[in-house]
């Protein structure tokens, strides 16, 4: 009886192990990275959509708001067009109306957050202005990071396009392959250009639209080379390889310059934030002592002069340490 029981336990254990391994192998074979890569390549070869889940609107104008009346009003404002271009370049899904709502909300929330402290009205006005500009700064930071990632991906994209052209693919097919094989966010822009061409947009206009969405000089060089080759002919693969080498050399020089200017940038951050940090600590620890700055007229003038000098110093240091290549 014991032998039968132990044999049954061993068989159940082996069955569980084999079932677990079978489920794991099935999952890897159908949903693993290798399976997804093979399926993506098969879709590219068959002319499918690949991993392009995005679809662009066939309308020439982007909607700035879900409300039709507000959308028409925003389309008539030049500032709304600039905000929309900034959101597109940052890869944000916010609309112009949503961005404006967030800005107004932050502007109203910033003075309310310090209502428990005896802060003077000039400080509340400055906080309201800082709250209004906070979404703008965050979007610009996201735009800068996204453009930096795209810039680092451009050499690989140029080499990839050159290899695909040498293999005999057409440039339209190369856009689809690049959009499916390269990582985000550059692949998204190539997929959008491919979708625009599929909708009937001329290739020159689609490439110019990609250059407008990604305001990078290196990408414009690449697009200009493609457009010139389409008009006059030439070895586009060799041109793209040369552009890739130039971009890599420039990125290496930019990295070297950033290392040399790191001390200046750190000094700018410390000098710009230290007065605000000291003022915040004194407001918490000794509010009566520092309160003379906004209770006395001379103290108010000193605050305004100090704020102006801090702003001037920050902008001056920014111009000194910012080296454009």
How much is the average pLDDT of 46-71?
59
Do residues 157 and 174 lie in contact, with contact meaning Cβ atoms separated by under 8 Å?
no
Residue 183 DSSP label: P
- CATH class of the domain defined by 148-252: mainly alpha
pLDDT of residue 10: 65
How much is the average pLDDT of 194-213?
86
What percentage of the chain carries pLDDT values higher than 70?
A: 81
Closest Cα to residue 132, out of 106, 158, 94?
A: 106
Tokens of 119: 């802060």
pLDDT band (50, 70, 90) for residue 194: confident
pLDDT at position 50 over 70: no
pLDDT at position 286 over 50: yes
Q: Where are the domains of the chain?
A: 148-252, 282-325
pLDDT band (50, 70, 90) for residue 31: low
Query: What is the rounded CA–CA span in Å between residue 325 and residue 251?
Result: 10
Query: What is the rounded CA–CA span in Å between residue 151 and residue 247?
Result: 9
């Amino acid at each position: 009886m014991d032998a039968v029981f132990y044999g049954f336990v061993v068989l159940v254990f082996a069955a569980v192990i084999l079932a677990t391994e079978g489920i794991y192998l099935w999952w890897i074979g159908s949903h693993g990275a290798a399976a997804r890569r093979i399926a993506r390549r098969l879709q590219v070869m068959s002319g499918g959509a690949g991993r392009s889940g995005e679809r662009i609107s066939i309308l020439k104008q982007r909607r700035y708001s879900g409300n039709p009346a507000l959308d028409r009003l925003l389309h008539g404002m030049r500032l709304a067009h600039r905000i929309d271009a900034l959101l597109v370049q940052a890869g944000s899904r916010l609309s112009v109306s949503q961005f404006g709502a967030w800005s107004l909300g932050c502007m109203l929330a910033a003075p309310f957050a310090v209502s428990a402290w005896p802060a003077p009205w000039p400080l509340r006005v400055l906080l309201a202005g800082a709250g209004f500009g906070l979404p703008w700064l965050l979007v610009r930071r996201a735009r800068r990071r996204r453009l930096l990632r795209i810039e680092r991906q451009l050499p690989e994209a140029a080499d990839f396009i050159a290899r695909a052209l040498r293999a005999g693919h057409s440039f339209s097919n190369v856009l689809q392959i690049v959009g499916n094989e390269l990582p985000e966010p550059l692949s998204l822009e190539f997929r959008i250009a491919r979708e625009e061409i599929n909708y009937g947009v001329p290739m020159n206009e689609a490439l110019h639209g990609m250059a407008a969405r990604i305001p990078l000089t290196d990408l414009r060089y690449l697009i200009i080379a493609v457009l010139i080759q389409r008009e006059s002919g030439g070895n586009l693969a060799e041109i793209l390889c040369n552009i890739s080498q130039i971009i890599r050399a420039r990125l290496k020089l930019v990295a070297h310059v950033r290392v040399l200017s790191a001390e200046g940038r750190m000094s700018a951050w410390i000098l710009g934030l230290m007065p605000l940090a000291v003022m915040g600590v004194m407001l918490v620890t000794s509010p009566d002592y520092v309160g003379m700055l906004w209770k006395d007229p001379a103290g108010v003038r000193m605050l305004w002069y100090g704020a102006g000098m801090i702003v001037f110093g920050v902008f001056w240091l920014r111009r000194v340490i910012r080296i454009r290549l």
